Amino acid sequence: MNGGDEVVAAPPGPPQLLDWKFSQVFGERTAGEEVQEVDIISAIEFDKTGDHLATGDRGGRVVLFERTDTKDHGVSRRDLERMDYPIGRHPEFRYKTEFQSHEPEFDYLKSLEIEEKINKIRWCQTANSALFLLSTNDKTIKFWKVTSQETSLVARSRRVYAHAHDYHINSISNNSDGETFISADDLRINLWNLDISNQSFNIVDVKPANMEDLTEVITSAEFHPTHCNMLAYSSSKGSIRLIDLRQSALCDSHTKLFEEPEAPSSRSFFTEIIASISDIKFAKDGRYILSRDYMTLKLWDINMDSGPVATFQVHEYLRPKLCDLYENDSIFDKFECCLSGDGLRVATGSYSNLFRVFGCASGSSEATTLEATKNPMRRQVQTPSRPSRSLSSITRVVRRGPETPGVDANGNSFDFTTKLLHLAWHPTENSIACAAANSLYVYYA
């Protein structure tokens, strides 16, 4: 929990505004090409070193990419870790391999179809020269090993962690101890040992005795990056709970609760729905937690439970449209969020394949909107991220004509069908990978 001060006390004055440039696109859509449902990307994750990137899709496939600009044979991994990358280079990836992680299934006991869609991917520590990762759909988590055999790459499912969740799995997260991980569904969080697939321990259970009393569900959970005993989970009521595995075997009571009291004046039918947190992420140093709800990004200091240290407006301009968004279910879209490795910036997705990057260092008013195309800056929609901040750069709106179904009062266009839900920040560099439908875009600054 210490050392977080460095983030805030960074170089004198706010860091420079980042100049984002397009780097790469994989699976770009040609004009008029119809997107196949199964090809839509549903998970993105960099590994710890940033040398590998994995995506999962609705068709149950996992695709791996590897970094090409740092490949340097004969240098050990440890040396590479110590080495700073030469300035001027930016991460470039190439397709490495892909494999079918999950297949559609049918639960005969409950008469339920189980989709193959990959909900989350998490990389694991590498025990040897192979790559290891966890992938999960709604019900089943799998542990994969990817090795090169002769000339080809082979993915083998090493373990299957099944039958432990009655509800849909929304998160998996590795512990810093390297031997355990958690999986969270709507009502429960289970703790697993990576080596043992036939038993898990239930550590959080929010299921009420009577389901009619249910008012809150778990939406996301993550282990602290360095403290093996701490984990955080978010809820549909907009709260984040920090729990300490040391205190008790069953962690139904939290150590800390983070929530922002709502202003009674702004209360409406939608208040509870838009308060729901769709994603939380610990900053690398473990002191801050970033959360995303429908309207905002919030940054929390785990030493301060009175309220967020910063709030970034992402969708404020949609407030008048909440009724429409409710009608077409968009209000339930689950946007992910991410932090830069240095903790100075945060990012999250939006509609019309846009994503937004905010500076969170003190004094920073950075708020950039980018579009997941080859020309990310071609549409800069600037909406004030914090009321106090001035608009520093130009506000230029490029309309996309026929593709744009709606334009709001400010001239901001939005297209609910093209939403950018999934994105990830490179662990050591200013590079973001994000998914626009079936296409993976990588940007750098």
Partner 1 sequence: MAMIDEPLYPIAVLIDELKNEDIQLRLNSIRRLSTIARALGEERTRKELIPFLSENNDDDDEVLLAMAEELGVFIPYVGGVEYANVLLPPLETLCTVEETCVRDKAVESLCRIGAQLREQDLVESFIPLVKRLASGEWFAARVSSCGLFHIAYPTAPDALKTELRTIYGQLCQDDMPMVRRSAATNLGKFAASVEAPHLKVDIMSIFDDLTQDDQDSVRLLAVEGCAALGKLLEPQDCVAHILPVIVNFSQDKSWRVRYMVANQLYELCEAVGPEPTRSDLVPAYVRLLRDNEAEVRIAAAGKVTKFCRILNPELTIQHILPCVKELSTDSSQHVRSALASVIMGMAPILGKDATIEQLLPIFLSLLKDEFPDVRLNIISKLDQVNQVIGIDLLSQSLLPAIVELAEDRHWRVRLAIIEYIPLLASQLGVGFFDDKLGALCMQWLKDKVYSIRDAAANNVKRLAEEFGPDWAMQHIVPQVLDMINNPHYLYRMTILHAISLLAPVMGSDITCSKLLPVVINASKDRVPNIKFNVAKVLQSLIPIVDQSVVEKTIRPCLVELSEDPDVDVRFFAGQALESSDQVMMSS
| Contacting residues toward partner 1, per CB under 8 A | 76-78, 125-130, 132, 145, 147, 149, 158, 176-180, 195, 226-229, 245-249
Closest CB to partner 1 among residues 105, 244? 244
| Residue of 155, 118, 156, 130 whose CA lies nearest to 47 | 130
Q: How far is CA 273 from CA 40, 219, 293, 378, in A?
A: 25, 12, 9, 32
Q: Which helix (H) or strand (E) holds 358?
A: strand 354-359
**351, 418 contact by CB (below 8 A):** yes
Closest CB to partner 1 among residues 38, 80? 80
User: Where do we find the tokens 């909900």?
Assistant: 119
Q: How far is the CB of 200 from partner 1 (least distance, A)?
A: 16
Closest CB to partner 1 among residues 247, 392? 247
Task: Round to whole Å and give the CA distance between 196 and 444.
Answer: 39
Token pair for residue 80? 């590479």
Q: How far is the CB of 128 from partner 1 (least distance, A)?
A: 5
Closest CB to partner 1 among residues 16, 148? 148
Residue 356: partners with Cβ closer than 8 Å, 6 or more residues away:
312, 314, 347, 348, 349, 350, 367, 368, 369, 370, 385
Q: How far is the CB of 132 from partner 1 (least distance, A)?
A: 7
**355, 347 contact by CB (below 8 A):** yes
Q: How far is the CB of 4 from partner 1 (least distance, A)?
A: 17
Closest CB to partner 1 among residues 111, 128? 128
Q: How far is the CB of 66 from partner 1 (least distance, A)?
A: 17
Q: How far is the CB of 303 from partner 1 (least distance, A)?
A: 18
b/e per residue, 228-246, with b = 16+ CB within 10 A?
A: eebbbbbbbebbbbbbbbe
Task: Round to whole Å and give the CA distance between 27 and 41.
Answer: 10
Specify the 3-state DSSP secondary structure of 317: helix
Closest CB to partner 1 among residues 157, 239? 157
Q: How far is the CB of 245 from partner 1 (least distance, A)?
A: 8
Closest CB to partner 1 among residues 248, 393? 248
Token pair for residue 96? 């490495």
